[in-house]
Amino acid sequence: MGHHTISILVLNQSGVLVRVAGMFSRRGFNIESLAVGTTHVPEYSRITAVMQGSDAIVAQVVKQLEKLVEVRAVEILPVNTAVVRDMAMIKVKAAQNKKLEVLQLAETFGAKVVDISNETLMVEITSGKTNTDALIDALSSYGILEMIRTGVVGLQRGDCSIYEKEKCEISALFDTAQVEA
């Protein structure tokens, strides 16, 4: 049982996120995080899902995802050769006499302070998951008012591209979605 980061290239159509998320919940797979965004090709979006499970379960997830019509490619981001990031914003209690301390702490983790009020600081971090977890842990002793995370996103290193794995469907519905390799 480990964490797996799955990158999914989908057609940018309404309902596709529901289909992907629905597949996970329907089949009893737990998603830890799910992040969606557009890509340089307007017809596509890309979803990154993090889940826990054995290799066999993840293999099953990948195959079930590949069956969805609007899913064009799926890859598991290899732990060693992928860059994965997740962004968090944390609003932490910090009276005047604590502000410097929190600032320094944020700096240690490579985070930035992006808003200051009388009693609070807002810290932003973009980092690997463990680093972000550690920062949140450290800040929690000051009292976290609210926070939010985007969920993990990632890309493989090197010159590969998920578009190379695209399944070639023979339908005019996808004519607009041809991408140069």
Partner 1 sequence: MKISGAQGIIECLLEQGVDTVFGYPGGRILPLYDAIYEGKIRHILTVHEQGAIHAADGYARASGKVGVCIATSGPGATNLVTGLANAYLDSVPLVVITGQVSTDLIGADAFQEVDITGITMPITKHNFLVKDVATLPEIMRFAFRIASSGRPGPVLIDVPSDIQLDVFNFTQEEEQEKNKPRFQWELSQLGSSLIDRAAAVLETAKQPVMIVGGGVVSSGAYEQVVALAEKMNAPVVSTLMGLGSFSSEHPLFLGLTGMHGHKRANLAVHGADVVIAIGSRFNDRVTGNKFKYAEGKTLIHIDVDPAELDKNVSTHIPLAGDVKQLVTTLNERIKPFNPSPWWKVIWEWKQEFAVKPDGNDLSATWMLKQVAERTKGKPFIFATDVGQHQMWAAQNLHIETPRSWITSGGLGTMGFGLPAAIGAQIAMPTKRVIAIVGDGGMKMTGCELFTAASQGLPLITIIVDNSSLGMVRQLQQLFYKQRYSESLLPVPMDFVCFAKAFGIEGTLTTTQEEFLAAFSAAIESNCPRVIIVKIPTEQLVTPMLKPNSPLDTFMDI
**Footprint of partner 1 on this chain (CB under 8 A)?**
15, 18-19, 22, 26, 56, 59-60, 63-64, 66-69, 167-173
- Minimum CB distance to partner 1 smaller for 112 or for 167: 167
Number of H helices, E strands in the chain: 4, 9
CB of 33 to partner 1, least distance (A): 22
CB 6 within 8 A of CB 29: no
Give the pair of three-digit tokens for residue 121.
């600081």
- Minimum CB distance to partner 1 smaller for 11 or for 113: 11
Torsional class of 124: left (φ above 0), alpha (ψ -120 to 50), beta (otherwise): beta
CB of 63 to partner 1, least distance (A): 4
Quick one: how far is CA 158 from the chain centroid?
19
CB of 4 to partner 1, least distance (A): 16
CB of 87 to partner 1, least distance (A): 30
- Minimum CB distance to partner 1 smaller for 170 or for 181: 170
- Minimum CB distance to partner 1 smaller for 22 or for 110: 22
DSSP 179: -
- Minimum CB distance to partner 1 smaller for 60 or for 126: 60
Query: In 76-179, where does DSSP find H-type helix?
Result: 96-108, 129-140
Give the pair of three-digit tokens for residue 108.
């240690």
Quick one: how far is CA 3 from the chain centroid?
13
The SS3 of residue 54 is coil
CB of 41 to partner 1, least distance (A): 20
